[in-house]
Amino acid sequence: MANHVTFTVVANFLFHPTTHQILGLVDYDCSHTGHPLHEFFFSSFSLSYCVISAEPAVASALFHGFPSPLPASTLPTGPEFRDDDAPQWEAMAMFEEELRREGAARPSSIEGAEGIAEVYGFMSEVCPFYFVMDKWVERQSEDRLQECRVQQAETLAKALAKWSF
């Protein structure tokens, strides 16, 4: 499957001026081939539609179905949605319904998705992406690197304890 990574960033879509129908995707810089679930690890933060969520209620809704009635949403304070805004329940539910209507893969329809997301979240916590970026590592002092090692050891211990290891 072709993945885009920033698929749900509204600015990446071309809309019909009067019907507002999506006509096309105009941003291909993050496109790649990958598993359909991979799209939901990265591309949906601005809608809160992300399977790696700090909000257990969001993850539960994406894997097991949305509650009825939906929890209240708090509108963002700025001109656009940001990754750290409160969950946008109405937008997430509409996005989920459109994916379902079109027969597109979504977290609730991908077998084993919840377990895969849990492992992916574990990997991301234990080894953040910047740890393998030579330029980032080179810019850190030895004290800072040691501090990161200690923090990651604590993170690993917590994750392994959660999984009863």
Q: Could you read off the pLDDT of 127-146 as tens digits, one per residue? A: 888 888 899 999 999 999 99
Residue for token pair 């929890």: 71
Alpha carbons 34 and 11: distance in angstroms, whole number: 23
DSSP H or E run through 24: strand 22-25
For residue 122, what pLDDT is reported? 85
Q: With 50 as the cut, is the pLDDT of residue 5 above it?
A: no
Kindly state the percentage of the chain with pLDDT values over 70.
Answer: 76
* CB-based contacts of 83, cutoff 8 Å, min separation 6: 45, 46
Is the link from the previous residue into 69 a cis peptide, with omega within 30 of 0?
Answer: yes
**Most confident of the following: 25-29, 43-47, 111-115:** 111-115
Checking if the pLDDT of 79 tops 80, the result is no
Q: What is the pLDDT of residue 2?
A: 44
- As a whole number, mean pLDDT of residues 56-64 equals 89
Which SS3 state, helix, strand or coil, does residue 96 take?
A: helix
More confident residue, 88 or 20: 88
- 160 φ/ψ angles, rounded to the nearest 5 degrees: -65, -35
| Residue with more model confidence, 17 or 103 | 103
Contact 31, 2 (CB under 8 A): yes
Tokens of 38: 């991979």
CA distance 14 to 17: 9
